[in-house]
Every structure is written in structure tokens, then in C-alpha cells.
Amino acid sequence: MNVLIAYATNSGGTYFAAQTVKKVLEAKKFSVTTAEVEDLSPHDFKKYDLIILGSCSWNYKDLEGQLPKSFEEFVKNTPANSLQNKKCAVFGLGDSEYLYFCGAVGILEKYIQKNGGTPITDSLRIDGYYKHEKENNEKLEKWVHSLPL
Ligand SMILES: Cc1cc2nc3c(=O)[nH]c(=O)nc-3n(C[C@H](O)[C@H](O)[C@H](O)COP(=O)(O)O)c2cc1C
């Protein structure tokens, strides 16, 4: 199975989280590509069986709990049904001190639904990645192990 981890990050945490997800999947012998959404086109989805979307939550146009700009634009430029027949999963990094904790996760769940993807698990919301890096990486590992693959 070919897996794509498509992510957006502003301060690097989601990059490191994506590496953790990749490491666990590779240990299970999956072929895994990680890429920032700004280096991807939604047409790239065609090459993969499982698409894992990862994002921080941010302020965008003065609204909290949003995708960062790069993911916002990627979503906007996605042709209809780009996730048809694709297994999908979402993880998000956020901070529970914000009103819309991990708001980007809900946006990505709707994106998957709208584009015909099939969610295979509940989304994972990570609180304060850098503050509790070890525990948060363990949460990510546990989540990946729980994926029905
Ligand atoms: C300007 C700004 C806005 C943020 N807005 C939110 C938010 O609305 N909801 C949330 O859960 N976290 C919010 N966060 C926290 C980040 O999502 C969190 O620190 C995350 O780990 C950053 O991931 P990254 O290192 O991949 O960019 C915000 C952080 C900053 C600096």
C-alpha cells in the first residue's frame, strides 16, 4: 500500500509529527511519502491508496481555528471527487488554550467528505506538541498502530 502524508506546518511541529507517523508505517512495511501541501497537487492523490492529512490550526483572515494559508489554498484548488476511492485519515496539532482547539481537523474532515474520501479512523488532535513532545509522539504512534490497514 502506498501512503501519502500531506501536511502543512508553520513552526515545524506538524513536520516532526508527520515523520513519526511515517516511521511507524514504514516499520509496518508500507511505502510512505511525506510532503508539504505547497509542494503537492491534488492530482498527486491518484498515486496513493491511503492519504493522511496533517495540519496545525492557525489564524487565517482574522479567524482562529483555521487551516494555514498553504492548506487553505490547496483545498480551494482541489478538483471535485479527488479523494474518491481513497482511504483517508487526519491528524492535527493545536493548543487547547485557543477557543477552536484543532479547528483545522474539522475542516479537513469536511474536505475528505466533500471530495469522496473514506475516513478509516477517528481523527487525532495533538495538544501542545512541543510542550509534551515525547508523550505526543507516543500518541501519534499509538494512533498509527490503531489504523485498520
Ligand atoms: C498565530 C497562532 C494561531 C493559532 N491558532 C490556533 C487555533 O485557532 N487553534 C488551535 O488549536 N491552535 C492554534 N495555534 C497553536 C498551533 O496550532 C500549535 O502551536 C501547533 O502545534 C503549531 O503547529 P506547527 O508547529 O506545525 O505550525 C495557533 C498558534 C499561533 C502562533
Residue 22's CATH number: 3.40.50.360
Flag whether pLDDT at 107 surpasses 90: yes
Flag whether pLDDT at 129 surpasses 90: yes
Closest CA to 55 of 96, 16, 90: 90
Q: Is 60 in the pocket of ligand 1 (CB under 6 A)?
A: no
Residue 17 forms part of a structural domain = yes
- How remote is the CA of residue 123 from the centroid of ligand 1, in Å? 17
pLDDT tens digits, one per residue of 21-78: 999 999 999 999 999 999 999 999 999 999 999 999 999 888 999 999 999 999 999 9
- How remote is the CA of residue 107 from the centroid of ligand 1, in Å? 15
Q: Is 16 in the pocket of ligand 1 (CB under 6 A)?
A: no
Residue of 53, 93, 137, 139 to test ligand 1 pocket, by largest number of atoms within 8 Å of CB? 93
Distance from C-alpha of 25 to C-alpha of 43, rounded to nearest angstrom = 23
Distance from C-alpha of 5 to C-alpha of 94, rounded to nearest angstrom = 18
Residue 61: what pLDDT? 82
Residue 42 forms part of a structural domain = yes
Averaged confidence pLDDT in the chain? 97
Q: Which domain holds residue 98?
A: 2-143
Q: What is the number of structural domains in the chain? A: 1
Average the pLDDT over 120-149 and give the result: 98
Could you tell me the CA-to-CA distances from 94 to 40, 47, 58, 104, 149 in Å, in that order? Answer: 23, 29, 8, 9, 26
Residue 110: what pLDDT? 98
Residue 11: what pLDDT? 97
Residue 111 forms part of a structural domain = yes
Residue 148 forms part of a structural domain = no
Could you write out the DSSP letters of every residue in 20-57?
HHHHHHHHTT-EEEEEEGGG--GGGGGG-SEEEEEEE-
Residue 10 CA, closest ligand 1 atom number? 27
Residue 60: what pLDDT? 82
Residue 62: what pLDDT? 87
